[in-house]
Amino acid sequence: MTDAARARRALTVLHRELSACTACPAMIGPVVHGPPVVSRVMLVGQAPGPREGAIGHPFAWTAGKTLFRWFDEALGVPEATFRERVYIAAVARCFPGKASGGGDRKPDAGEISRCRTYLEREVAILAPDLVLAVGQLAIGEVTGQKGKLDALVGRQHRVTWLGRDVDVVALPHPSGASPWHKLEPGKTLLRQALALAEAHPAMRAALA
Ligand code: SF4
């Protein structure tokens, strides 16, 4: 069996466990995950929204449309190809429900910690070289840095994440909740971030 076949099988086993997970009482199932794509590039989002559970894959609604449009425009890769070549994960794999003030609730520390066990296993299986962290929660989870997007987006970070040395390109969350990426300096920083992703050898290899 090849290494890729072994990794695919390990991801399939992990996905079976993930799909049966009910560790977080406040989370709303079903668990959402993508296919067992063997890739050195991982994308880490925040958590699925209310529609993804029924559709059955991450970034399946409006935020996903924006995200895949960014990749199509900057990397020249359509959504279907991106999904086949990049492993899509998230800080939490269940819909957290709505926040009292509107918008989706952010996963809490306990939920993030419980769901991190799956990320740890995915990183061990895939040994990624590049991580695309989407949104402030995911950027904080992967880089350990919290702060304004102005300081985090548009440059490449080098971190040790879950035991693996990785390059990280931070991206804003594509949901309509924040206009950051539509205004300056967000527009320019997003363009710079996507150019870094496009030029990264791991991304080039994944899309070749
Ligand atoms: S968020 Fe993660 S750890 Fe919590 S129930 Fe869903 S899959 Fe399990």
Q: What tens digit of pLDDT does each residue of 34-57 get?
A: 999 999 999 999 999 999 999 999
Query: What are the tens digits of pLDDT across the range 56-71?
Result: 999 999 999 999 999 9
Give the burial string for 20-51 (b: 16+ CB within 10 Å, else e). Answer: ebeebeebeeebbbbebbbbbbbbbbbbbbee
pLDDT at site 14: 98
207 touches ligand 1 (CB under 6 Å): no
> Is 21 close to ligand 1, i.e. is its CB under 6 Å away?
yes
Q: Would you report the helix, strand and coil content of the chain in percent, each value rounded to 5?
A: 45, 15, 40
Assess whether the C-beta atom of 134 lies below 6 angstroms from ligand 1. Answer: no
- For residue 102, name the pLDDT band (cuts at 50, 70, 90): confident
Query: Stretch 168-176: mean pLDDT, rounded?
Result: 93
Residue 63: per-residue pLDDT: 93
Q: What is the CATH number of the domain that holds 47?
A: 3.40.470.10
Average pLDDT, the chain: 96
Angle at the Cα of 86 from the Cα atoms of 17 and 162, rounded to 5 degrees = 60
Query: Angle 91-96-99 (CA atoms, 0-180°, nearest 5)?
Result: 120
Answer for the pair 117, 104: CB distance below 8 angstroms, yes or no.
no
Compute, in angstroms, the gap from residue 107 CA to the centroid of ligand 1.
10
Q: Is the minimum distance from the CB of 22 to ligand 1 under 6 angstroms?
A: yes
**Amino acid identity for residue 206 in this structure:** A
For the chain, percent of residues with pLDDT exceeding 70: 100
Q: Whose CA is nearest to atom 8 of ligand 1?
A: 21
Cα–Cα distance between 181 and 195 in angstroms, integer? 15
- Phi, then psi, of 194 in degrees rounded to 5: -65, -35
Euclidean distance between CA atoms 63 and 51, whole angstroms = 11
DSSP 181: G
Cα separation, 160 vs 162, whole angstroms: 7
Domain boundaries, position 94: 3-207
3-class secondary-structure state, position 47: coil
Confidence bin at 177 (pLDDT 50/70/90): confident
pLDDT tens string 106-165: 999 999 999 999 999 999 999 999 999 999 999 999 999 998 999 999 999 999 999 999
- Look at residue 101 and tell me whether its pLDDT is greater than 90: no
Residue type, 120: E
**C-alpha 205 to ligand 1 mean position (Å):** 31
- pLDDT at position 206: 98
User: pLDDT at position 99, please?
Assistant: 92
Domains identified in the chain, total number? 1
Q: Is the CB of 23 under 6 A from ligand 1?
A: yes
Atom of ligand 1 nearest to the CA of 111: 4
Cα separation, 152 vs 146, in Å, equals 8
Q: What whole-number distance in Å separates Cα of residue 181 and Cα of residue 189?
A: 8
Q: Which of 17, 27, 95, 141 should be mutated for ligand 1, with most atoms under 8 A from CB?
A: 27
176, pLDDT greater than 80 = no
**Residue 164 DSSP symbol:** E
Ligand 1 pocket member 89 (CB < 6 A)? no
**Cα separation values, 84 from 42, 43, 117, 145, Å:** 12, 12, 24, 29
